[in-house]
Amino acid sequence: MTKATTPVLELKSVSRLFEGIRAVDNVSLKLYAGEIVGLIGPNGAGKTTLVNLISGFLSVSSGDVIFDGASITHKKPHVIAQSGIARTFQIVQPFAKMTVLENVMAGAIYAGHRGMVQARDKAIECLEFTKLAHLKDMPASELALANRKRLELAKSLAMNPRVLMLDEVNAGLNSSEIDEAIRMIRSIAATGITIVVIEHLMRVVTALAERTVVLHHGAVASEGPTDEVMRDPKVIEAYLGNKFAQRFAETSGAPVARPA
Amino acid sequence: MIIDRAFALKIAFGVLLFACGAGLSAVLDNYYLQVGTTLAMLCALCWAWNIVGGYMGYPALCMISFFGIGAYAGGIAQAAGVSESLAWLIAAGVGALFALLLGVPLLRLKGHYFAVGTIASVEVLREVANNWEQLTGGAVGLNLPIHAGSPDEVGRFFYLAMLGLAFLAFLITALVDRTKFGFGLRCIRQNEQAASMVGIDVFKYKVGAFVLTGVLGAATGAIYASMVAFLEPKDAFNLIMTIEIPVMVMLGGMGTIFGPLIGGVSYVILKEFVWAYFINWHSGILGLIVVTVIYFLPVGVLGLTWRDIFKKLGASKSTRPATSDIARSTS
């Protein structure tokens, strides 16, 4: 794909300390329009913390977050959401007692800057895209897990984001649900939205991400085209393990470097 | 603003109801005008509380702080020679300012902490009113100029004034129910983190709702002060009332347009009945009834659907909604 010359989102040496522990350590990243970037790493590597820093839920200890040419480093979450960065939560956070339609409308009204009536139209459009339209009048709390994950996706889409961070939207889904989700994420990226996929499911990362960033102990352990990263000895040692590397090599037919 | 048929019918019904209420003032005698005035006052307070307590879901127990602040602000202004209507406006302004000053620190708290903080404001204000004698007259009380006219005229005047304020509170509630602002409050009630994630300025919305409630509460207090023409701290900052208002709204249905009206009216009827038959035990019996109703009907009268009623008739205990599940009904 052709990359724009200036990144949509750029992290400059971003760190976050929790009482002396560096949860995110000196992370620098550039994200370009329309690309899908995988963010992987072991549990506790700082993936979700990084998302929280970008979306303003946690404040950055040092470093800078640049979105669209302007710093959003110490902006409040709602300001960042309004400016065009959407995220989903690992543990889904619907407005439980509101209907599916109202949930998605919320995204369209505030971050999407729409009036109530236009927000409803936009919400229906997003629900059709995520195949939830037939459930629109159901309370969000009554949805099954796969549909709740899709609801998070629909809600974020209604926000008209330019960057969308998906924090484990596929965890707990079955195989065919994952295939469906992969298709959806691809077509979202095709509209020019930059997507960050945080996943433990390597199958999803390899299917979606052109580029992958590996976090380990809060720092970037490896970064580059996904298939190269998968063969990086450091990554295999820290996260993937030799068994996976073997399997990946067999399926992709490329030689695997042995960890030292 | 989404205006569907159901909403238009509700508004039309409300307008009709208030028009009838205003029309009745021509025929009612003084006793019924008094009852009607009290009812309109309680409903105005219920509608005001419903914005913060119902739509936003914050257990504010400071309705009477707003009411008392308004009563004293209006009363002091009138005692200083300001005209009645201007005093009411001043009271509303003071109410807004007070709600802002109280809301900015308190709205950072949640749940029980918020409830305790708000209830403390009632106690503090009563002590201030008791002790700041130069301004409030202290425990001796504050005399206001008496509204000129025959008892019937005065009764009718205050009945219409309270009814007008209740109508205003009703219209504001209808707006809150249908606009971006009210929609945001409902999101905040469900999940504040998710609300800020979809771009809602949560704190600004919360303070805004608190101020709206404060303005309406203070205006009600000011009209009340002019009506009774005498204020004392234990009357203006009545701790029982600050609990009764939320109970009324819970009875009717929180976060609904007509819940405050239904709750207010049914509570007053219930109270009159208990007063009439159990004069010595009225507080205890009323308390028991309130607890029973909240326990078995946590969603309020308007929260019930036919489906719920049938379910309840033949259902096991587990289908009873938890108190935390107080759902927004379609009023």
Q: Which domain holds residue B66?
A: 14-247
Are the C-beta atoms of B211 and B103 separated by less than 8 Å? Answer: yes
Helix (H) or strand (E) holding B95: helix B84-106
Rounded to a whole number, what is the distance in Å from the CA of B1 to chain A's nearest CA? Answer: 5
B6 domain residue, yes or no: no
Please tell me the distance from the alpha carbon of residue A51 to that of residue A70, in angstroms, as a whole number.
Answer: 18
pLDDT at residue B26 in the model:
87
pLDDT at residue B30 in the model:
87
**pTM for the predicted model, two decimal places:** 0.87
Please tell me the distance from the alpha carbon of residue A144 to that of residue B88, in angstroms, as a whole number.
Answer: 53
Question: Residue B181: is its pLDDT beyond 60?
Answer: yes
Please tell me the distance from the alpha carbon of residue A151 to that of residue A100, in angstroms, as a whole number.
Answer: 7
Q: Which residues of A touch B202 (CB under 8 A)?
A: 78
Are the C-beta atoms of B42 and B268 separated by less than 8 Å? Answer: yes
Environment class of B8 (CB within 10 Å of its CB; exposed 0-12, middle 13-18, buried 19+)? exposed
Per-residue pLDDT band at A253 (split at 50, 70, 90): low
Q: Which residues of A touch B179 (CB under 8 A)?
A: 116
B44 domain residue, yes or no: yes
pLDDT at residue B309 in the model:
60
CB contact under 8 A, A76 and B196: yes
Question: Locate tokens 């301004």: which residue?
Answer: B135
B281 domain residue, yes or no: no
Question: Residue A1: is its pLDDT beyond 80?
Answer: no
Q: What is the mean pLDDT of residues B209-214?
A: 97
Per-residue three-class SS string for A31-77: ECCCCEEEEECCCCCCHHHHHHHHCCCCCCCEEEEEECCEECCCCCH
Nearest to A96 among B190, B193, B196 (CB): B190
Question: Residue B318: is its pLDDT beyond 60?
Answer: no
pLDDT at residue A9 in the model:
93
Rounded to a whole number, what is the distance in Å from the CA of B187 to chain A's nearest CA? Answer: 6
pLDDT at residue A227 in the model:
86
Q: What is the mean pLDDT of residues B263-279?
A: 85
Q: Which residues of B touch A78 (CB under 8 A)?
A: 196-197, 199-202
CA angle A72, A76, A80 (to 5 degrees): 55
pLDDT 10s digits, A198-211:
988 888 898 999 99
Beta bridge partners of A222: A214
Mean per-residue pLDDT over chain B, rounded? 87
Question: Residue B83: is its pLDDT beyond 60?
Answer: yes
Nearest to A117 among B2, B198, B201 (CB): B2
| Helix, strand, coil percent values for chain B (each to nearest 5) | 75, 0, 20
B277 domain residue, yes or no: no
CB pairs under 8 A between A and B: 81
Please tell me the distance from the alpha carbon of residue B247 to that of residue B264, in angstroms, as a whole number.
Answer: 9
Question: Residue B320: is its pLDDT beyond 50?
Answer: no
Q: What is the mean pLDDT of residues B267-291?
A: 82
Question: Residue A47: is its pLDDT beyond 70?
Answer: yes
Q: Which residues of B touch A162 (CB under 8 A)?
A: none
Sequence letter at residue B188: I
B191 domain residue, yes or no: yes
Q: What is the mean pLDDT of residues B50-55?
A: 94
Please tell me the distance from the alpha carbon of residue B227 to that of residue B224, in angstroms, as a whole number.
Answer: 5
B82 domain residue, yes or no: yes
Asked whether the CA dihedral B37, B40, B42, B48 is positive or negative, the reply is negative
pLDDT 10s digits, A174-201:
888 899 889 999 999 999 999 999 988 8
Q: Which residues of A touch B193 (CB under 8 A)?
A: 57, 93
Nearest to A97 among B178, B201, B327 (CB): B327
Residue A148 has a CB neighbour count (10 Å cut-off) of 21
Question: Residue A256: is its pLDDT beyond 60?
Answer: no
Please tell me the distance from the alpha carbon of residue B212 to that of residue B202, in angstroms, as a whole number.
Answer: 15
Pull the structure tokens for residue A93. Answer: 């956070």
Which chain A residue shows the shortest CA-CA distance from B192? A95
B193 domain residue, yes or no: yes
Sequence letter at residue B104: V
C-alpha Rg value of chain B to the nearest Å: 20
CB contact under 8 A, A81 and B197: yes
Which chain A residue shows the shortest CA-CA distance from B330? A98
Is B321 in CB contact (< 8 Å) with chain A? no
Q: Which residues of B touch A112 (CB under 8 A)?
A: 199
A222 phi-psi bin (left φ>0, alpha ψ -120 to 50, beta other): beta
Per-residue pLDDT band at A232 (split at 50, 70, 90): confident
CB contact under 8 A, B197 and A97: no
CA neighbours closer than 13 Å in the CB half-sphere of residue A16: 24
Identify which has the larger pLDDT, A251 or B134: B134
Pull the structure tokens for residue B324. Answer: 């935390």
Which chain A residue shows the shortest CA-CA distance from B194? A93
Are the C-beta atoms of A27 and A215 separated by less than 8 Å? Answer: yes
pLDDT 10s digits, B10-50:
999 999 999 999 999 888 888 899 999 999 999 999 999 99
Is B193 in CB contact (< 8 Å) with chain A? yes
Is B327 in CB contact (< 8 Å) with chain A? yes
Q: What is the mean pLDDT of residues A130-151?
A: 90
pLDDT 10s digits, A75-108:
999 999 999 999 998 888 899 999 999 999 999 9
B160 domain residue, yes or no: yes
3 state SS of B121: helix
Asked whether the CA dihedral B89, B262, B244, B298 is positive or negative, the reply is negative
CA A249, distance to chain mean position in Å, is: 26
pLDDT at residue A255 in the model:
53
Please tell me the distance from the alpha carbon of residue B110 to that of residue B57, in angstroms, as a whole number.
Answer: 10
Q: Which residues of A touch B197 (CB under 8 A)?
A: 55, 77-78, 81, 86-87, 89, 93
pLDDT at residue B331 in the model:
37
Q: Which residues of B touch A110 (CB under 8 A)?
A: 180, 184, 198-200
Pull the structure tokens for residue B238. Answer: 């009545």
The residue count of chain B comes to 331
CA neighbours closer than 13 Å in the CB half-sphere of residue A204: 30
Question: Residue A61: is its pLDDT beyond 60?
Answer: yes
CB contact under 8 A, A87 and B197: yes
CA angle B244, B250, B256 (to 5 degrees): 125
Q: Where are the beta strands (DSSP E) in B85-149?
A: 142-143
Q: What is the mean pLDDT of residues A32-38?
A: 92
Beta bridge partners of A30: A10
Give the total number of structural domains in chain B. Answer: 1
Please tell me the distance from the alpha carbon of residue B217 to that of residue B64, in angstroms, as a whole number.
Answer: 8
**pLDDT over 90 percentage in chain B:** 61
pLDDT at residue A101 in the model:
94
pLDDT at residue B210 in the model:
96
Q: What is the mean pLDDT of residues B283-292?
A: 81
Identify which has the larger pLDDT, B114 or A242: B114
List phi, psi (to 5°) of A61.
Answer: -75, -45
Question: Residue A260: is its pLDDT beyond 70?
Answer: no
Rounded to a whole number, what is the distance in Å from the CA of A127 to chain B's nearest CA? Answer: 16
Question: Locate tokens 């309004």: which residue?
Answer: A82
| ipTM for this prediction | 0.85
Q: Which residues of A touch B327 (CB under 8 A)?
A: 97
Question: Residue B244: is its pLDDT beyond 70?
Answer: yes
Q: What is the mean pLDDT of residues B229-240?
A: 90
pLDDT at residue B148 in the model:
85
Are the C-beta atoms of A84 and A119 separated by less than 8 Å? Answer: no
Q: What is the mean pLDDT of residues A214-225?
A: 89
Question: Residue A15: is its pLDDT beyond 60?
Answer: yes
Mean per-residue pLDDT over chain A, rounded? 87
With an 8 Å Cβ cutoff, the interface of chain A facing chain B consists of 55, 57, 76-78, 81-82, 86-87, 89, 93-98, 102, 105-107, 109-112, 115-117, 120, 155, 159
